[in-house]
Amino acid sequence: MKVFETGEVETRPESLHDFFNALVWLAFPSTKARINALHAAEIPREGGRRGRLRDLLTIFDEGGAIVQCDDPALLGLLGARRWKELFWAHRQRVRERMRVLVIGHAVLEQSLEPWPGITCKAIVLRWNADPDRCAAAWLSALEPGASPRDLVPLPIYGYPGWHPGSESPDFYEDRRYFR
């Protein structure tokens, strides 16, 4: 609520979490402002208990990503969670036709000590869309019953080149991370 009420983003000294949050505010101001405004609007309606919409907002804020892609085949594999086929069999097309922008500041912090299990919750936008403006619009269009299930899981270290293991097809066989 402090950001909504004052417009100030708290950045505690020595806090990498806050540092990454501030960077995301700089890169995606409309999206972050929309997340914040939706939280502020929802709090009085919840009666002290956070609902599904705020769960979605929190998950997206902390661990979100924007996937930009217009390739129906790649989007089909993403939606079906066919990770090895998406990230290995079609890795060149993924590199050329699927852009991933991590906006979750907790994921950015976790990336300092990467491990294959880091998973973002993503929204999908058109390839040529302005990611900040369109992500804010996506959030604005959420229905009252929206929940974290409206976000697409994305094991971010499966994206070709994001983790050294992603250079081997066996990497995608690890069911702990790619299920």
pLDDT at 59 over 70: yes
Residue 44 domain-assigned? Answer: yes
Residue 93 domain-assigned? Answer: no
Q: What are the tens digits of pLDDT across the range 71-121?
A: 999 999 999 999 999 999 999 999 999 999 999 999 999 999 988 889 999
Indicate yes or no: pTM above 0.95: no
- Strand stretches in 84-140, DSSP E: 98-102, 119-125
Give the C-alpha separation, 141 to 135, whole Å: 10
- Asked if 51 contacts 108 with a C-beta cutoff of 8 angstroms, the reply is no
Residue 51 domain-assigned? Answer: yes
Residue 173 domain-assigned? Answer: no
Q: What are the tens digits of pLDDT across the range 119-160?
A: 999 999 999 999 999 999 999 999 988 999 999 999 999 999
Q: Is 6 exposed, middle or buried (0-12, 13-18, 19+ CB in 10 A)?
A: exposed
What is the tally of structural domains in the chain?
Answer: 1
**Residue 34: pLDDT band with limits 50, 70, 90:** very high
Residue 91 domain-assigned? Answer: no
Which sign, positive or negative, has the C-alpha torsion 159, 165, 170, 176? Answer: negative
Residue 86 domain-assigned? Answer: no
Question: Which domain, by its residues, includes 11?
Answer: 2-69+102-158
